[in-house]
């Protein structure tokens, strides 16, 4: 039994090491998919359609598709690289909790942290040899504790945590809009493949268009599922990890109501909701955006939601 457990731990370590090695490959894969999509939509179809348009309506449709595609592409890439290059949040050096350290616990997530009953407990990470702030978890891939960790995403080659969760959600949002636009724009060309109509273009361009439609349709459907899941998580002020761990707890003390839950991820300034950035005022007045100080439901009892 002991040897089997050792082998399992070793295999998990190899798996985490392999995930770290995917870094630049996954970024190149994302850029490759973007490049193929750009080639199929802009260079093979709607770019030439705009130049060859004989009617005002055809030119207007092609121009609208191209403008919207480029806008969404800029927002998608901005959000994507914001997730990739933004540190999700680490435990500050010499961080200490207000709770008496003599009562520190080594359990991964105690029941008292999930409920309003009992005395609060300090959690301790045996791998990092440091105290863990509330809602902080250890990532085996990154090899460190991450503030309000949601999950480790191989697509962004980074952990999704307190400081880049909003950027990740915007990446999903703009990816969905972009892939849906491409799917709808290339749908007539895809249908034409199965008709008797002669399709202009080289065999390579036609094959790229076909592949691009299938890829973007698949991403549209899969990203839609992720978006629905994360909208549910944000509305309840929880993370993917917490949603799993709190199943045994009927009360989630961090749920402050949808409006306050939303503000803890996106801030209060509406001008910043759709860009991967925060206003200085939001960073100052909403401590939860820094990943260390989270108000609990008892703080707002009697105030309404």
Range with the largest mean pLDDT of 51-60, 247-256, 261-270, 291-300: 261-270
* pTM for the model: 0.85
Taking only the tens place, the pLDDT of each residue in 137-179 is 999 888 899 999 999 998 999 999 999 999 999 999 999 999 9
pLDDT higher than threshold 60 for residue 285? yes
Residue with tokens 């092609």: 62
| Residue scoring higher pLDDT (305 or 122) | 122
Q: Which residues pair with 123 in a beta bridge?
A: 105, 132
Q: 72 near 181, Cβ under 8 Å?
A: yes
**pLDDT at residue 21, as a whole number:** 61
| pLDDT band of 76, cuts 50, 70, 90 | very high
**pLDDT at residue 195, as a whole number:** 78
pLDDT higher than threshold 80 for residue 84? yes
Give φ, ψ of 137 to 5 degrees.
-135, 155
Q: Which residues pair with 139 in a beta bridge?
A: 144
Average pLDDT, the chain: 84
| Residue scoring higher pLDDT (105 or 121) | 121
Calculate mean pLDDT across residues 16-45.
Answer: 84
Virtual CA dihedral for 173, 69, 39, 210, nearest 10 degrees?
70
pLDDT higher than threshold 90 for residue 112? no
Calculate mean pLDDT across residues 286-301.
Answer: 83
Calculate mean pLDDT across residues 81-102.
Answer: 81
Angle between helices 23-38 and 56-85 (to 10 degrees): 170
In the chain, where the domains are located: 12-87+165-302
**pLDDT at residue 221, as a whole number:** 96
- Residue 120 burial (C-beta neighbours within 10 Å; 0-12, 13-18, 19+): middle
pLDDT higher than threshold 80 for residue 243? yes
| pLDDT band of 20, cuts 50, 70, 90 | low
Phi-psi region of 285 (alpha: psi -120 to 50; beta: other; left: phi over 0): alpha
**Active-site residue set:** 153
Q: Which residues pair with 262 in a beta bridge?
A: none
**pLDDT at residue 19, as a whole number:** 53
**pLDDT at residue 73, as a whole number:** 98
CA–CA distance, 30 with 73 (Å, rounded to integer) = 12
**pLDDT at residue 202, as a whole number:** 78
**pLDDT at residue 278, as a whole number:** 97
């Amino acid at each position: 039994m002991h040897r089997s457990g050792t082998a399992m731990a070793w295999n998990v370590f190899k798996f985490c090491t392999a995930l770290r090695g995917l870094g630049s490959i996954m970024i190149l894969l994302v850029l490759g998919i973007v490049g193929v999509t750009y080639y199929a939509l802009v260079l093979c179809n709607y770019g030439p359609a705009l130049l060859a348009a004989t009617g005002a309506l055809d030119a207007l449709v092609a121009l609208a598709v191209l403008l919207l595609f480029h806008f969404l592409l800029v927002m998608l890439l901005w959000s994507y690289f914001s997730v990739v290059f933004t540190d999700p949040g680490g435990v500050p050096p010499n961080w200490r909790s207000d709770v008496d350290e003599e009562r520190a616990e080594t359990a991964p997530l105690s029941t008292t942290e999930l409920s309003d009953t009992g005395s609060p407990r300090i959690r301790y990470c045996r791998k990092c040899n440091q105290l863990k702030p509330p809602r902080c978890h250890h990532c085996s891939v990154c090899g460190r504790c991450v503030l309000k960790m949601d999950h480790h995403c191989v697509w962004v080659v980074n952990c999704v945590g307190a400081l880049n969760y909003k950027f990740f959600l915007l990446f999903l949002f703009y990816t969905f809009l972009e892939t849906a636009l491409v799917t709808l724009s290339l749908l007539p060309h895809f249908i034409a493949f199965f008709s008797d109509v002669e399709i202009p273009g080289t065999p390579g361009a036609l094959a790229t268009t076909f592949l691009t439609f299938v890829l973007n349709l698949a991403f549209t459907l899969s990203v839609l599922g992720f978006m629905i899941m994360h909208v549910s998580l944000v509305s309840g002020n929880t993370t993917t990890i917490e949603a799993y761990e709190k199943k045994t707890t009927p009360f989630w003390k961090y749920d402050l109501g949808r409006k306050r839950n939303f503000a803890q991820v996106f801030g209060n300034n509406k001008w910043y909701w759709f860009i991967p950035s925060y206003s200085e005022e939001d960073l100052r007045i909403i401590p939860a955006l820094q990943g260390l100080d989270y108000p609990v439901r008892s703080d707002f009892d009697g105030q309404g939601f």
